[in-house]
Structure 1
Amino acid sequence: MSIMISTGRDEAALREEIVRFGRSLFDRGLTAGSSGNISVRLDDGWLLTPTNVCLGSLDPARLAKLDWNGRHVNGDAPSKEAFLHRAMYEERAGAGAIVHLHSTHSAAVSCMCGLNHDDCIPPLTAYFVMKVGRLPLIPYHRPGDPALGEAIRGLAGKHCAVLLANHGPVVSGTSLEAAVYATEELEETAKLFLMLRNTPTSPLNAEQIEELKSVFKLEI
């Protein structure tokens, strides 16, 4: 396990970035009420949005800061789903940020029966493959259940994103911008997936996916 990588970014700038992206996600309807949470890696821990706070009205000075043991260092009380972020960081040394939303189309897919738990949204577009790759489905756990962290830990080493059943996506990226863009691509692909139900489709085949992996140096 390796989690102590250098971010090379000023903490104050990262706090402002979380606020900016949080507001953008809220304003565009990708999160509602006080749902969802965002975190960013620091050299000495990580920042996390507080519990029961709308992503559209974050205060940079009140973001929670935690150390790598999960201890709350300063700021408001962290999201009760802090363990989701910690598990992902501990398994993905290259993760610089994590976004967890209850975005409508992704959450809708997470409620469907008959999904492939190893890859619950087909590779409908090259962009989904490039930004998300394979998307495993994690069985339902109640909100705040610490066992969910262990379930994520078992998959995060091989996957940059997971879908929580009856809940929503957890997506990591090398930066907050990358994590947000991947989350948006997942949401748009989930929308396509729902629109195309009962319609014959032609997802990318194995050869096409291998070409993307080779050309764009993907680890999926």
Structure 2
Amino acid sequence: MSEKELRERIAQHGESLYDRGLTSGSSGNISVRLPDGMLITPTNVCLGRLDPEEISRLDSAGNLVAGRPPSKEAFLHLAYYRSRSKEQAVVHLHSTSSVAVSCLSDIDPENVLPAITAYYVMRVGELTLVPYFAPGDQELAAAVELASKASRGVLLANHGPVIGGLDLDAAVYAAEELEETAKLYMLLRNLPVRFLDEAQQGELRRRFPS
């Protein structure tokens, strides 16, 4: 896919995520890895109103090459890409249910959400919690780089999810599946629930390797 096509796809996905309430205002950011850097949504721009030509292009060191100034959280994406060589796109949202889960005090930081559905296991797998850092804190990059070695998706405490995929569509679908699972988890709290057991999860991983 050409860079022009990638820019258009980022804008299309941004509009879809915004229209369905998975992000609001100018929150959230989307990136795609390039051979010599990445494309990422600009700072202070609503994902629902992206101009493909203004999407930021950064080199491998994070320097702006073209487009508007990048998201202030571009360093999170660079850290994620350093940790996971296969993933080619990253989505970071402030989606309501995922943020709600990130604020709970009784979640397992090694694997935040249980295996509620097969599609969560297939598209997300495990979700690691990253401790709270103030927005823009550069120490968050090291924490994300470390956490993402263990899982495709990480949840920033009191902030929101960061998740990647083998391509842009896969990253967006994973972010959507994560949010739906977080919503189910909040709905099911304090109810007797039948989660997928280890054998069922293992079978899914064998049949649908990521």
TM-score (norm 1): 0.94
State the Cα distance separating 1:192 from its structure 2 match: 0.4
Alignment partner of 1:73 out of 65, 76, 81: 65
Q: 1:140 is matched with which residue: 110, 121, 132?
A: 132
Q: How many residues align?
A: 210
In the alignment, the residues of structure 2 paired with residue 36 and residue 109 of structure 1 have an alpha-carbon distance, to the nearest angstrom, of 17
Query: 1:200, CA displacement in angstroms?
Result: 0.9
2:4 to 7, 12, 17: 12
Identity of aligned residues (%): 55
1:186 has 2:161 as partner: no
Counterpart mapping for 1:1-220 below 5 A: 9-218=1-210
* 8 Å contact kept, 2:130–2:157: yes
Amino acid at match of 1:20: Q
Q: Which stretches in structure 1 are left out of the alignment for 5+ residues?
A: 1-8
State how far apart, in whole Å, the 2-side matches of 1:38 and 1:213 are: 26
Measure how far apart 1:62 and its partner are. Answer: 0.7
What is the match of residue 5 of structure 1?
Answer: none
Aligned partner letter, 1:58 = L
Deviations 1:154-190 (A, max 9, x none): 1212311100000000010011110010001000000
Query: For 1:104 and 1:10, how far apart are their aligned partners in 2?
Result: 33
How far, CA to CA, are the matches of 1:159 and 1:32 in structure 2?
26
Q: Secondary structure at the match of 1:17?
A: helix
Give distance in 2, aligned partners of 1:126 and 1:104.
22
Which residue does the alignment assign to 1:3? none
Rounded to whole Å, the distance in 1 between the matches of 2:124 and 2:130 is 16
**Which 10-residue stretch deviates more, 70-79 or 98-107?**
70-79
SS at match of 2:7: helix
* Unmatched runs of 5 consecutive residues or more in structure 2: none
Asked if structure 1 preserves the Cα contact closer than 8 Å seen for 2:130 and 2:155, the reply is yes
Aligned AA (2:114): P
Distance 1:61 1:125 in 2: 38
> Aligned equivalents of 2:160 and 2:80: distance in 1?
15
Specify the SS of the correspondent of 2:106: coil
